[in-house]
Amino acid sequence: MPVFKTPFNGYSVKFSPFYESRLAVATSQNFGILGNGRLHVIDLSPAPLGPAVPHQPITELIAYDTADGVYDVAWSESHDSLLVAAIADGSVKLYDVALPPASNPLRSLHEHTREVSSADYNPTRRDSFLTSSWDDTVKLWTVDRPASVRTFKEHAYCVYSAVWNPRHADVFASASGDCTLRVWDVREPGSTMIIPAHELEILACDWNKYDDCCIATASVDKSIKVWDVRSIRVPISVLNGHSYAVRKIKFSPHRQSLMMSCSYDMSVCLWDYMVEDALVARYDHHTEFAVGVDMSVLVEGLLASTGWDELAYQDGNDRDIAIGTHGGLQEKAMGGICMDYGEAVGYSLEMLRYAKVLKVFNGLISRNGLAKCACVCAREAGAFLDAYRILQSKSAYPAIEKCYCATFQHVS
């Protein structure tokens, strides 16, 4: 199985709507907590070469480095080379892969005040896109304008996902850590529907491509729920099978009742929500948390997933290609375990960035890993005292100095 190594942890993967073998992969250093990011555009093998050479090599067409992690990516629906990237520093960057690297990014839009968690291009109107953020907002943009067209602010907590309705150009939905799904019409002053879909944070949502009234939500409560927006008292279907938070979901562009999900339980699942035994297939190829999935619009049965270890590509002929990240389990000791397991058991992303994490996971992290995590928490929250006490208990004295420096830089 050919393997394409990336230096950082995978966060999102998207098939091109124009080229069946082209794929964009968003990655972040140190599990997205702290460090750089990189956006990869790769070309996957369209067919085997023969018995002697079973697969054509995976080709990296181009890669773009960012000063902070890349949390999501979306292809333009009108320009075959245009990409929108959601960046952890609060910016939204536009790239054109047809232009030389020096000409990219085409634009860097800075309006969100916290991490940008998702990006989604309008598949109907094709001239606009959405971004959602940990600043509790969703923003509407057009490519030709240097500022957002509108900001949607009703959620009481981080908005993890915002997706366009596939048939109505003015309608989208947003999923939030405030446990609600909201449906919006950009022509209206506020949201047109609020669904208290889960009792814990909602991490993702997606519209059915064949039924414009059907939408699915994925939550920290380990479940996926399918809703009919015409009757929201109870969900159409509740899909249970993941053992940790469900991070992303995607409806099939080819079959009405088929959807794909990935979870912190390291699995990728295929579901048919219209049948009693809904779980169609389960893939356990990931050895770290699976955090992104996509289905090709151009080739039925062509799936992709990304995780903090690798991205796997599989078509209907059971041909596999994997794109891996360096480190894997070793990198957990660098502080990622704080965010990973915390979010998996239901801690909010906000809480994980602060010193409370250090107390919860004091007994689970190695000395070096704890030092790294303490530095992150200290810099983000100025929580030097908590970090100092735990580091002292671990006799990690060299890390105390680093932690102190991080805290000093933060407060100054």
* Listed residue (152, 160, 205, 151) closest to 178, CA to CA: 160
Nearest in space to 176 (alpha carbons), one of 118, 127, 91, 120: 118
> Where are the extended beta strands (E) located within 143-278?
150-152, 159-164, 171-176, 181-185, 193-195, 202-207, 214-219, 223-228, 237-240, 246-251, 258-263, 268-272
**pTM, full prediction:** 0.79
Residue of 62, 11, 60, 70 lying closest to 38 (CA atoms): 70
Give the tokens for residue 24. Answer: 């964009």
Q: What is the enclosing helix (H) or strand (E) of 391?
A: helix 384-393
Task: Name the DSSP class of 287.
Answer: S
Tens-of-pLDDT digits for all 412 residues of the chain?
A: 445 677 899 999 999 999 998 999 999 998 888 889 999 999 986 544 444 444 556 789 999 999 999 999 999 999 999 999 999 999 999 999 999 999 999 999 999 999 999 999 999 999 999 999 999 999 999 999 999 999 999 999 999 999 999 999 999 999 999 999 999 999 999 999 999 999 999 999 999 999 999 999 999 999 999 999 999 999 999 999 999 999 999 999 999 999 999 999 999 999 999 999 999 999 998 888 999 999 999 999 888 898 888 554 444 444 344 444 333 322 222 233 333 333 333 333 333 344 334 433 444 444 444 444 545 444 444 444 555 454 455 444 444 444 444 443 443 3
Report d(CA 216, CA 224) in Å as an integer. Answer: 7
Distance between CA 302 and CA 255 in Å, rounded?
13
pLDDT digits (tens, 9 = 90+) for 266-320: 999 999 999 999 999 999 988 889 999 999 999 998 888 988 885 544 444 443 4
Q: Which residues pair with 40 in a beta bridge?
A: 25, 63
Write down the pLDDT at residue 336. Answer: 33
For 102, counting Cβ atoms within 10 Å of its Cβ (0-12 exposed, 13-18 middle, 19+ buried), the class is: exposed
Correct CATH for 3-318 of 3.40.50.10540, 4.10.780.10, 2.130.10.10, 3.10.180.10? 2.130.10.10
Using alpha carbons only, how large is the chain's radius of gyration in Å? 21
Which uninterrupted H or E stretch holds 84?
strand 82-87
Q: What is the pLDDT of residue 153?
A: 98
Neighbours of 278 (CB within 10 A): 20
Say how many residues make up the chain.
Answer: 412
| Residue 264 amino acid letter | Y
- C-alpha–C-alpha distance, residues 41 and 76, integer Å: 14
Q: How far apart are CA 52 and CA 44, in angstroms?
A: 19
Helix segments in 83-204, DSSP class H? none
Q: Could you tell me where in the chain the CATH 2.130.10.10 domains are found?
A: 3-318
